[in-house]
Structure 1
Amino acid sequence: MTLYVRELSNEEGNKLLHIVRRGTEPVEVRRALLILASAQKMKVPEISRLYHISGEHIRKTIHRFNEEGMGSLKPNYGGGR
Structure 2
Amino acid sequence: MRLDKYLKISRIIKRRTIAKEACEKGRVFINDKTAKPSTEVEVGDRLEIQFGDKSLKVEITQIAEHVKKDEAKEMFRLIE
* TM-score of the two chains, using structure 2 as the length reference: 0.31
Higher strand share: 2
**Structure label with greater radius of gyration:** 1
Q: Which has the higher contact order (CA 8 A, sep 6+)?
A: 1
Q: Identify, as 1 or 2, the structure richer in helix.
A: 1
